[in-house]
Structure 1
Amino acid sequence: MAELFKALTVEEARAVLTRYLPTKKTVTKVPLLESLGRLLAVDVRAAEDVPGFDRSTMDGFAVRAKDTYGASESLPAYADISGEVLMGHMPQGKVGAGRAWRISTGGMLPSGADAVVMVEFTEELDKKSILITKAVAPGENVVRKGEDIAAGEIALPAYHRIRPQDLGMLSSIGVTEVDIILPIRVGIISTGDELVAPFESPAPGQVRDINSYTLFGAVAACGGVPQYHGIVRDNHEELRNVLEKVIADNDMVLLSGGSSVGARDVASEVIDSMGEPGVLFHGISIKPGKPTIGAMVGDKPVFGLPGHPASAMVVFDLLVAPLIRSGEYSVLEKDIYMDYPLQAEIVRNLHSAAGREDFIRVRLFLREGRLCADPVLGKSGLIATMVKADGLAYIPAGKEGVEAGEIVRVKPF
C-alpha cells in the first residue's frame, strides 16, 4: 500500500500508472454515422483520388490559361464558346486554342483546359463568343485530381478521434464502416455519510451529491460511457461490496470522497484490498486536489478523487481525462501546450508553495486587446467557483507564485 500523502508530482503519478495500464484495446466495427467522437483503431487509407478528376471551383469558362495572358478591361482577350460542361457528366470534347467552355462550380474540366475564368471577368458578345477581362494562371479556380486526398494516402490515422469534418473525409473516399476502439466504461461512486441524492431534502449536516453529476458529465464529454452507481456510506464492508461489482462491470472506476486521512475515510484501505497491484500513490503535489488516490486493480484504473467538487474536477482533468480520451498519457511537449493553449495576463498577485503545481480557476476577459485572467477566489468545496470560471490557469511547481501582469498558461473549459 502506498504511503499516505507521500505526494507525487503529476508527471510521477502518470508514470506510475502507465506501468500497469493495459495495452490491448477492444475494437469493433460501426457504421460511419455512428463513429462520431470515437477513436479509430487502425489507419484509414484512401483507395482512390479525391476528387477523381480536375474540377472547377467557380461558375465561368474553362480555358487554356495561356490564351488569357495580358487580358485586361482595356485590352480583353477573345474566345469562341465551343462547348458546355454538363454537371455529373464527362465533357465530350476538347478545349482548343482560343476556345472556351461554359462550366459550373464542381463541373469536370474538359481536356485541354487548365484554368477557369470567373464569369464576372467575362463579357458575352453573343451566344458563340466572349471577351475575357482578366488573365488567369494555370490551375486557377480549379481543384486538381487527388488534391483533396491522393489514392494510397492515410486519410485518418489510428487513434484519431472522429470529428464532423472527418465524417465528410471518410464519406468522400467511400468508407461506410470504420473500426473503432470501444469507449471506456467508467463506474462512478460517491462516498460519505453526509451525502443525499439531489431529489432529497438534506437534513442538518447533510448535502446533496455534486461530484457524481459533474463526473458523469466530464466522462461523457471525454467520449467515455459513464455509469452512475449511487452513494455509498463510509462503511468498509458496504463500500467493498459495491466496489467489487463496479470494478467487474467497468473499465475504470471513479470514487469521490473518502480520500483524505481520517477515521471515517476508508477508501484507500478498501481499494487496496480489491486486488494487485492496489494503491500506487496517495497524494499528488497540486492544489487543489492533493488527497488523490491512484490505484490499479488488475488492469483497471481506480481513482479516489477528493470530495471537494473543484478538487475532483481538477484531478479528473489531469489524471482521468487523458485515459478516457486515448487510453494513455502523452509525453509530447506539444500536447502539454495544447492542454493549456491560451496565454493570459494574470490581474492579481497569487502565492504558490514551492514544489507544488497550482491550478487556478479564472475568468477570462479582454483588456485593450490583451487576454486577461482574473482568479475566481474561493474554497475548493464550492462548485460555484467552477461555474463562474472560464478556465484553469497553470502555475508550475518551480514558481512560488505569480505577480499581476505576468503571463500564465490557461486551459479554457
Structure 2
Amino acid sequence: MQFFKVKTVEETFTLIDEKIPAIEQTEIRELFRALHYILASPVTAKENVPSFDRSTVDGYAVRAKDTYGSSESMPGFLTVAGEVKMGEVPTAEVTQGTAVYVPTGGMLPKGSDSVIMIEHCEDVDTLLNTYRQIAPGENVIRAGEDIREGEILLSRGTKLRPQELGALASLGITHVTVFRKLKVGYLSSGDEIVPYQTETLREGQIRDINYLTIAGLAQEWNVEVVYGGIVRDDFAEFRERARALYDEADCLILSGGSSVGAKDYTTDVIQSLGDPGVFVHGISIKPGKPTILALANEKPVIGLPGHPASAMIIFKLFGERVLRKLKGEKCDRKPERILAKITKNIPSSMGRADYIRARLFEKEGEWWAEPIIGKSGLITTLVKSDCLVEISSEKEGVSQGEWIPVIPSR
C-alpha cells in the first residue's frame, strides 16, 4: 500500500478541480423552490430592468441645468407643474423652469434628466425653492441600467442565492433549469463505533458522532445524505456495504476505523469500487493527514479521518469543494477567508499547513482570533470555535498580534 505520499493543500485543490466531473442530470424547478440549486444553463435577459427611467428618491424631477447656482444662501426658483403617481405614466412634462414631484421608484416625466431630493428643496405654494445644484442623472436609474435586454444575466454553474432569485424574478422568470440535487452516501467503520442513540456505552465503545457532523455540513450545502450505518473491521462486509451505498449515491463518504487494518481496508475497498481509484492518499495538513480522495467510475469517494474534529475540518476544506464541483457549481475560489489578528503565538512546521480551531471576536474595530487548543479527537474544540485559523505550509508559526487568514463557519 502506498500510504502517505502526501499532497500539499494546493495540490489537493488542483486535483479535485481537474478530476471531479459535474453531474449531467438537470431538472426544471419553480423559482421559489430553486434556492441553493446550481443553474444548468445561462439566463439571457429578455427585457430591460428597470423598463423605464425611475427616481431613486422622493423629490422633484427637473432639468439639472435649471438648478445650477442654487445654494442655501441663494436658492433657485422653479414652478411645480404637477406630480407623478406610483404605477402610472406621468401626464405632466418638465420644461425649462418647471419641476414635477416624483416619489421613490416613480417614473421620470418627459423632459427631466435628474431628481432633486425633497430635503434639498421647498415647495411654497407651487414655487419650488432649490437649495443646491445637482448633476444630470443624479438620483435617477435609467431604463436597462440594472439589467440590459440581451445580456447574459447569470451563467451556467451559478449558485442561486436569494439575490439571484430576486434578479430572475425581476425579469418575470418563474422556472429555471438547474442541476438536480446531489445524494451522498455516508458509511462509518470500526469495531468500536456504535449508533449515537446508544444510551449506555460498554468499555471501549464510541458513539458515531461523525455521521451527524458530516451529514449536517452536507445538508447545509443542499445535499441529501443517505446513512449506510456502521460496518465492522471486516474487509468482505466493508466492501459489500460500501458497494451497495456507492450504487445508490452520487458520492460516497467513508469514515475510517481506528485500527491499522481498518485503514488498509478503506483503501482497498475504495480501489475495488472502480477506476481510476485513489488520487490523493495523505495531505500535508494538520489535522487530517490520513485523508483519501478517489474517483471510481466518475463517482467521487472521500475517506475521512476518524477523529471528529479532523473529519469535520477535512470535509469543510475538501469535501465541500468535491461536492461543489460534482453539482456543477463554478469554483473560482477556495473557502472564503477574512483577515484577523491572532491572540497568541502558535508554532507550526514548515511544509505542512495547519488549521487551528478558534473563536472570532471584535475588539476596537478589529477582528481577533483566539485559538481553541485541543487534540483532534476532542469534539468540544469544535463547539467552542466558530472559525479556522490557517497557517500555510511556508510559515513556521504565527506571532501574537499578526494578521492571519481565517475561515469563518457559516
TM-score by shorter chain over 0.5: yes
Alignment partner, residue 51 of structure 1: 50
Shift, 1:19, TM fit: 5.0
Query: In the alignment, does 2:135 pair up with 1:137?
Result: yes
Query: In the alignment, does 2:181 pair up with 1:170?
Result: no
Alignment partner, residue 408 of structure 1: 404
Using structure 2 for the length normalisation, give the TM-score. Answer: 0.92
Shift, 1:340, TM fit: 5.0
- Alignment partner of 1:194 out of 175, 192, 195: 192
Task: Give yes or no for contact 1:292–1:305 (8 Å, CA) kept in 2.
Answer: yes
Distance between the aligned counterparts of 1:365 and 1:48, measured in 2? 45
Q: Helix, strand or coil: the match of 1:266?
A: helix
Letter of the aligned partner of 2:368 in structure 1?
A: C
**Distance 1:351-1:71 versus aligned 2 partners, 3 A rule:** closer
Letter of the aligned partner of 1:148 in structure 2?
A: D
Alignment partner, residue 114 of structure 1: 113
Query: In the alignment, does 2:202 pair up with 1:185?
Result: no
Distance between the aligned counterparts of 2:246 and 2:367, measured in 1? 44
**Distance 1:60-1:313 versus aligned 2 partners, 3 A rule:** same
**Distance 1:110-1:319 versus aligned 2 partners, 3 A rule:** same
Shift, 1:78, TM fit: 2.3
Alignment partner, residue 20 of structure 2: 21
**Distance 1:131-1:353 versus aligned 2 partners, 3 A rule:** closer
Report the number of matched residues: 407
Query: In the alignment, does 2:384 pair up with 1:388?
Result: yes
Percent of residue pairs identical: 46
Shift, 1:171, TM fit: 0.8
Shift, 1:295, TM fit: 1.8
Alignment partner, residue 271 of structure 2: 272
Q: Helix, strand or coil: the match of 1:82?
A: strand
Q: Helix, strand or coil: the match of 1:171?
A: helix
**Distance 1:139-1:244 versus aligned 2 partners, 3 A rule:** same
Letter of the aligned partner of 2:343 in structure 1?
A: V
Shift, 1:403, TM fit: 3.1
**Distance 1:15-1:341 versus aligned 2 partners, 3 A rule:** closer
Q: Which runs of 5+ in 2 are unaligned?
A: none
Task: Give yes or no for contact 1:260–1:306 (8 Å, CA) kept in 2.
Answer: no
Shift, 1:399, TM fit: 2.5
- Alignment partner of 1:150 out of 133, 148, 151: 148
Shift, 1:106, TM fit: 1.4
Alignment partner, residue 67 of structure 2: 68
Shift, 1:67, TM fit: 1.6
**Distance 1:73-1:398 versus aligned 2 partners, 3 A rule:** closer
Q: Helix, strand or coil: the match of 2:315?
A: helix
Shift, 1:188, TM fit: 0.9
For residues 352-403 of structure 1, the C-alpha deviation after alignment (integer angstroms, 9 at most, x for no partner) is 2332111111222344444332221111011111111121111222223233
Shift, 1:346, TM fit: 2.5
For residues 314-333 of structure 1, the C-alpha deviation after alignment (integer angstroms, 9 at most, x for no partner) is 2112221012123389886x
Letter of the aligned partner of 2:337 in structure 1?
A: P
**Distance 1:73-1:402 versus aligned 2 partners, 3 A rule:** closer
Query: In the alignment, does 2:359 pair up with 1:360?
Result: no
Q: Helix, strand or coil: the match of 1:33?
A: helix
Name which of structure 1's ranges 401-410 and 107-116 shifts more when overlaid on structure 2: 401-410
Distance between the aligned counterparts of 2:118 and 2:204, measured in 1? 76
Alignment partner, residue 38 of structure 1: 37
Aligned positions of 1:209-358 closer than 5 A: 209-258=208-257, 261-262=260-261, 266-327=265-326, 335-336=333-334, 339=335, 341-358=337-354
Distance between the aligned counterparts of 2:142 and 2:322, measured in 1? 41
Distance between the aligned counterparts of 2:70 and 2:208, measured in 1? 74
Shift, 1:23, TM fit: 4.7
Using structure 1 for the length normalisation, give the TM-score. Answer: 0.91
Letter of the aligned partner of 2:129 in structure 1?
A: L
**Distance 1:117-1:323 versus aligned 2 partners, 3 A rule:** same
Letter of the aligned partner of 1:147 in structure 2?
A: E
Task: Give yes or no for contact 2:90–2:108 (8 Å, CA) kept in 1.
Answer: yes
Name which of structure 1's ranges 249-258 and 363-372 shifts more when overlaid on structure 2: 363-372
Distance between the aligned counterparts of 1:368 and 1:382, measured in 2? 32
Distance between the aligned counterparts of 2:34 and 2:289, measured in 1? 37
**Distance 1:368-1:79 versus aligned 2 partners, 3 A rule:** closer
Shift, 1:15, TM fit: 4.2
Alignment partner, residue 105 of structure 1: 104
Q: Helix, strand or coil: the match of 1:323?
A: helix
Distance between the aligned counterparts of 2:128 and 2:342, measured in 1? 62
